[in-house]
Copies of this chain bind each other. A is one copy, B any other.
Amino acid sequence: MKIGLDIMGGDFAPKAAVLGAIAAYKALSKDQAIVLIGNRDQALPFFAEQDFNPDLFEFVHTTDVIGMGEHPTKAIVQKPNSSISLGFRLLKEKKLDSFSSAGNTGAMLVGAMFSIKTIPGIIRPALATIVPKLKSGYGLMLDVGANADCKPDNLLQFGALGSLYAENILHIKNPKVGLMNIGEEEEKGNLLSMATHSVMKDTHLYNFIGNIEGRDLFNSKADVVVCDGFTGNVMLKLAETFYILTLKKGFKDEFFDRFNYEQYGGSPILGVNAPVIIGHGISNPEAIKNMILLSRSMILSKLVDKITAAFN
């Protein structure tokens, strides 16, 4: 198993990536290798600092980087030797089994769709995020930004992607899939959510439990929350604000602790032909470590094969 990691992505690159990779290394078995992609010269001092042998990792050296503010499509096209472009090339050539980065989200999305491509039968992949549940454990919300405009068929498929992820990665049996809406009743909603409800209620792909509302994100009504990428992105950023507020104000609580992005390991892109994870731009070593461990889970669970089979 080869777990690819862009060491140039995120606000604290490459230090956070190196420290995270070292921490993950200790948790992996011998046949689980981490492949570090990026500027080796910039990375080596951090191995020295930790007195850790860099030869325990494979390196794919490159000096080219896609910056956080760069235009995704342009950057992917114009920088074929950037760490993100290289990572996807290796993933496509099956020299990697997964690829993750805390770098430019748009470039990761575009890179995934241009290189390894969307799984046949899936109209658009979705970006998913883990959501802490009040009672215990986690749920999933998708899409949170890959598709600002969606059609009912997109949302119908997001339900299947989320359900398979919840089952195989979060180990939730027969996950409850809810449609984010502005009322519980079937006839409530905007044109998109009303049309989506009418196709979702007939689906045999997953356990659709009906409409849910903004107040239900953290309760146990649904394990998988389906919405368009505009709504999901706005909700995600609003929820993050609250987590940051509770931190700033010094509130200590088990539920709010589980909001911590570090534990999630990042947001998976679901519906593409290999495991791809996008980390938070502010990823610290703990977050990077968990992104690597999540990559391993996605590989071991054969999630991509299961999604492929479901859409065949």
Contact = CB atoms under 8 A, between A and B. Distances in A.
Contacts of A235: 214, 234-235, 238
Contact of A190 (B189, B193, B230, B238): B230
Per DSSP, chain A at the interface is helix
A6 to B, nearest CB: 22
Interface in A244-295: 245-246, 249, 251, 253, 255
Interface in A137-153: 145, 148-149
A110 interface: no
Given A182-B234, A189-B230, A234-B235, A249 B253 contact: yes
A230 B240 CA distance: 20
B238 A215 contact: yes
A214 B238 contact: yes
A231 B233 contact: no
Contact of A246 (B149, B189, B251): B251
Interface string A195-223: 00000000000000000011101100000
Given A148-B190, A190-B149, A242-B242, A234 B249 contact: no
Copies in the complex: 2
A301 interface: no
A269 B308 CA distance: 49
A237 interface: yes
A180 B213 contact: no
A182 B148 contact: yes
A23 interface: no
A165 to B, nearest CB: 22
Contacts of A251: 246, 249, 251, 253
B215 A241 contact: yes
A55 to B, nearest CB: 41
A239 B236 CA distance: 12
30 contacts: A148-B182, A148-B189, A148-B191, A182-B230, A182-B233, A182-B234, A189-B230, A190-B230, A213-B233, A214-B233, A214-B234, A214-B239, A214-B240, A215-B240, A217-B238, A217-B241, A218-B245, A230-B231, A231-B231, A231-B234, A234-B235, A235-B235, A235-B238, A238-B238, A238-B239, A242-B242, A246-B246, A246-B251, A249-B253, A251-B251
Given A180-B234, A214-B239, A214-B241, 14 more contacts: A134-B245, A148-B190, A148-B191, A148-B193, A182-B229, A189-B230, A215-B241, A231-B231, A234-B234, A238-B239, A246-B251, A249-B253, A249-B255, A251-B253
